[in-house]
Chains A and B, each alone.
Chain A
């Protein structure tokens, strides 16, 4: 392995059987997360990004693939062995309203997480809770209150404190700021950043907001219909997206500038049903560069330099490359 990779996901696949057939929600997804970095997992609804994130923590059991965390394949661990790893792997959820038990006080919510992983009682426990609350920017007196007494942003801070209680190495943050107002979003993003730096956390940040990902993430994985279309360093991908889907996605995000002159690639139609995905490249039905060959083979994720990978048979075509330059 090159630089210190903390988590390596290889060929991750999750299928959900339904009455009408099998849905391949995640289909052969691979990516690495280096220690101390934040990787963004982006995609639209139905792209499988949330399922991929949960499979990574085995909150949903994947059907295939390897999840190598700090040298150990998590999928080979028994339930019991996995439990020992759980304290090193945490998740922050999108909805700060439904992810906190409304009948527990904040100190009980955080205390529960503390106790499961390490026996701690009395004053030591109270001190640790106060310290965690302070760390996420809440008053220590928040401990005696209930979730409904807090605003959305404050609840998200409680969720973060709960995740930090067990001193994890790796956090999956599933759309942690998308339910928040813009002004509060920036507060929570600053907090995530501070914590990442001071604890050396490694994160998988799942999001659909592309400007948040560009700002926060070191690398980006772009998913569409269960597969990875493109991945690589965010600076490179945002400066010059190489996959036609990434190009369309980036060009569709509205910029807060009425004078912005950007060539927009408007995609036709909707994302196809994951029950019956197109043959070959799953994006081809909406791709302006699709050719007959795109229906024949599933394009492999090709390495095009400096950790940048693209799954498109026309990725080296000057027409496709030049589109990436106009954004």
Chain B
């Protein structure tokens, strides 16, 4: 079995996840590679159709038909130190990893919590599914989990149903549920997108604190570059199923080496840049056109039709190239950016 560097928890290598739709094949994830180190946060950024969510569902092996991993490896180091390839594990073995080793939280906590059971029941069930403990012990642990995610009056909250809680509180319950078996790796798919900014700030604070205390690794999927700047150590930018740029967070925000990333940052309104001296509005710089569908990608670089730096060479698909130390870009012209 392949080995992993000691500080690496997850290594995704050339992952291919396809959806077969009749005669057409949607390559939703097309050769994606990245590492997640112990105790660190990797953010996967992209717009709709980028393949960021399919990547995280592939790692959890939660793809729904006709989605299928057709190539690549997902190497994962278990808490016992053994390295497994998730892409090739039988479903039975996967069940002992999902939830216990790798946990996941989603955008809309209401759809992931069971409305018919109390919050306490759901956390206790999760604990007892993975560990042989008594009901009394499970309840005690569930209460501790709610306290860990800073839910006040944890004792009373255990007996409440999801609908009795606010969106922010439900997301805390989701996090408590996800962390109740001490996972090594937490996959958070747009966990703050449905929340208000003041609640988002609370949840990001909480995740950072928990990471510091528990030392878990986080794979954070989002479309929000502001959130990325706050939480990530490394960033993976995806476009039409491929990684277009990858680097440590400081390096990415200091100098983008791919026109798409540059375009994404340039089109977020920023009053200090997009307003003139007299306060008049300047025009924003949108990326022209739309994200193409993965079933109808242009040949060569898939961003080329929207790219201001396009040249003839872009008809040939660029590989990921080292544009700066530790900083990869899938652009032929990364040097002039």
A residues at B contact (CB < 8 Å): 44-45, 151, 153-154, 181-187, 189-190, 193, 208, 210-212, 214-216, 235, 238, 248-249, 251-260, 264, 266-267, 269-271
Option from B225, B269, B271 in Cβ contact (under 8 Å) with A186:
B269
Task: Give the number of residues in B that approach A within 8 Å (Cβ atoms).
Answer: 47
Is B224 an interface residue when CB atoms closer than 8 A count as contact? yes
Contact of A264 among B166, B201, B227 (CB under 8 A): B201
B265 at the interface (CB under 8 A from A): yes
- Is B253 within 8 A of A257, CB to CB? yes
Asked if residues A183 and B230 are in contact (CB atoms below 8 Å), the reply is: no
Given contacts A183-B286, A211-B270, contact A193 B281 (CB under 8 A): yes
Contact with A along B279-292 (1 / 0, CB 8 A): 10101111110110
Contact check, B204 vs A254: say whether CB atoms are below 8 A apart: yes
In the complex the two chains form, what is the Cα distance from A44 to B202 in whole Å?
14
> Are the CB atoms of A182 and B201 closer together than 8 Å?
no
Given B48, B169, B269, which contacts A212 in the complex, CB threshold below 8 Å?
B269
Of the residues B152, B202, B226, contact of A267 by C-beta under 8 Å: B202
**Which A residue sits closest to B205, measured CB to CB?**
A266
Q: How far is the CA of A256 from the CA of B48 in the complex (A)?
A: 19
Is B20 interfacial (CB-CB < 8 Å)?
Answer: no
Which residue of chain A lies nearest to B166 when distances are taken between CB atoms in the complex?
A270
Against A, the Cβ 8 Å flags (1 = close, 0 = not) of B219-249 are 0000111111110000000000000000001
Q: Find the B residue at minimum CB distance from A47.
A: B196
Question: Nearest chain-A residue to B251 (Cβ)?
Answer: A258
Is there an interface contact between B196 and A254, defined as CB atoms closer than 8 Å?
no
Residue of B nearest to A188 (CB): B286
Whether B267 contacts A183 by the Cβ 8 Å rule is yes
> Closest A-chain residue to B150, C-beta based?
A268
- 7 pairs of residues in contact across A and B, judged by CB atoms under 8 Å: A182-B268, A185-B267, A253-B197, A254-B201, A254-B229, A270-B168, A270-B169
A266 near B281 with CB under 8 A, answer no
B250 on interface, CB distance cutoff 8 Å: yes
Decide if B264 is an interface residue (CB 8 Å cutoff).
yes
Q: Is the CB of A210 within 8 A of B270?
A: no
Q: Are B196 and A208 in contact (CB under 8 A)?
A: yes
Look across to chain B and name the residue whose beta carbon is closest to the beta carbon of A191.
Answer: B286
On chain B, the residues within 8 Å of A193 by CB distance are 281, 283
A237 CB, min distance to chain B CBs, angstroms? 11
Cross-chain contact B250 with A259 (CB below 8 angstroms): yes
On whether the beta carbons of B223 and A184 are closer than 8 Å, the reply is no
Taking a contact as CB atoms under 8 Å apart, the answer to whether A211 and B271 are in contact is: yes
Within 8 A of A (CB), among B26-69: 47-48
Q: In the assembled complex, which residues on chain B have CB atoms less than 8 Å from the CB atom of A254?
A: 197, 200-201, 204, 224, 226-227, 229-230
Give CA–CA (A44, B146) in the complex, Å: 25
Whether B286 contacts A184 by the Cβ 8 Å rule is: yes
Asked whether A249 lies within 8 Å of B197 as measured between CB atoms, the reply is: yes
CB neighbours of B274 from chain A (8 A)? 215
- Interface mask (B183-208 → A, CB under 8 Å = 1, otherwise 0): 00000000000001111111011000
Nearest CB on B from A169, distance (A)? 20
- What 1/0 mask marks residues of chain B from 156 to 185 whose CB sits below 8 Å from any chain A CB? 000000000011110000000000000000
A211 interface neighbour in B152, B166, B228, B268, Cβ under 8 Å: B268
CB distance from B165 to the nearest CB of A (A): 9
- A307 CB to nearest B CB, Å: 14
Distance of A291 from chain B, by nearest CB (Å)? 21
Q: Is the CB of A255 within 8 A of B226?
A: yes
Known interface pairs A248-B198, A252-B198, A270-B168. Does A214 touch B268 (Cβ–Cβ under 8 Å)? no
Minimum C-beta distance from A225 to chain B (A): 13
Do residues B225 and A44 form an inter-chain contact, with CB atoms below 8 A? no
Q: Is B275 close to A, CB under 8 A?
A: yes
Shortest Cβ distance from A215 into B: residue: B269
